[in-house]
Amino acid sequence: MRLFGRRIKAKTYNIAMCFIIVILLLLDANLTVYIGRFHNAAIEAELAGFASFRNMTVALADHTTRSFTEDVAEFAEDAIAYFKEHIWTGPRLTRGRGTIQGPSGKETYYNLNMAGVVSIMRRMGYDYEYWVRDDGVKMFGNYVMVAANLNIRPRGSLIQTSVGMGMVCDTGTFAKRNPTQIDIATAW
């Protein structure tokens, strides 16, 4: 009975290894590149026996796993660098802090009906949902609604704010006095 179980395990393992090779071939993997990373003489000598074929597939699988792991690690490092560069860690605009120096300069807030602003943005092709976050910040899709000087930052421009990534949707008289200031739409 035990011998029978070992045969099934060996056959299952062999089928799995063959399946990996077939997948690599279907994915147009260049096996010669992988084989080139190993000693050609040893591979040629071992290909004659089934056990050596198993060793080769294990080595190929190990190499593929290492390459994949390195790619994932590189992606993770890039993602961390991006977030360190783009996520604001300074003061956040709140009702109590009516004015702050945010990541893009001076920030203030305003609370007006945004129906007209949303209508303008939709006519421009931005078909996002208007909603208000739990903290009272008015949103257009995934973006904080921002008023800015439209000569510097036209409608639809993305800008980093202290409360998240913003989209310029509006302007105001403040833009003449301080052209780099942004005004964040809130329900406060």
Q: What are the residue boundaries of the structural domains of the chain, listed by start?
A: 2-86, 100-185
Q: What is the mean pLDDT of the chain?
A: 80
When pLDDT is cut at 50, 70 and 90, the band that residue 186 belongs to is very high
- For residues 57 and 44, the model is more confident at 57
Q: Using one digit for the tens of pLDDT, what is the confidence trace for 97-143? A: 999 999 999 999 999 999 999 999 999 999 999 999 999 999 999 99
The one-character DSSP state at 137 is B
Task: Tell me if 80 sits within 8 A of 156, measured CB to CB.
Answer: no
pLDDT for res 126: 96
Q: What is the pLDDT of residue 18?
A: 62
For residue 53, the model assigns a pLDDT of 59
pLDDT at 70: 79
Would you place residue 31 in the very low, low, confident or very high pLDDT band (cuts 50, 70, 90)? Answer: very low
Q: How confident is the model at residue 56 (pLDDT cuts 50, 70, 90)?
A: low
User: Is the pLDDT confidence value at 67 over 70?
Assistant: yes
Q: What is the DSSP secondary structure assignment for residue 128, as one 8-state letter?
A: P
The two three-digit tokens of residue 178, written as one number: 């301080």
Question: Please, what sign has the CA dihedral across residues 162, 167, 170, 172?
Answer: positive
- Is the pLDDT reported for residue 50 higher than 50? no
pLDDT at 41: 52
pLDDT at position 65, please?
Answer: 76
> What number is the average pLDDT over the span 165-186?
96
> How far apart (Å, rounded) are the C-alpha atoms in residues 58 and 52?
10
Beta strands in the chain (DSSP E): 100-102, 105-110, 130-132, 138-140, 143-147, 158-161, 164-170, 182-185
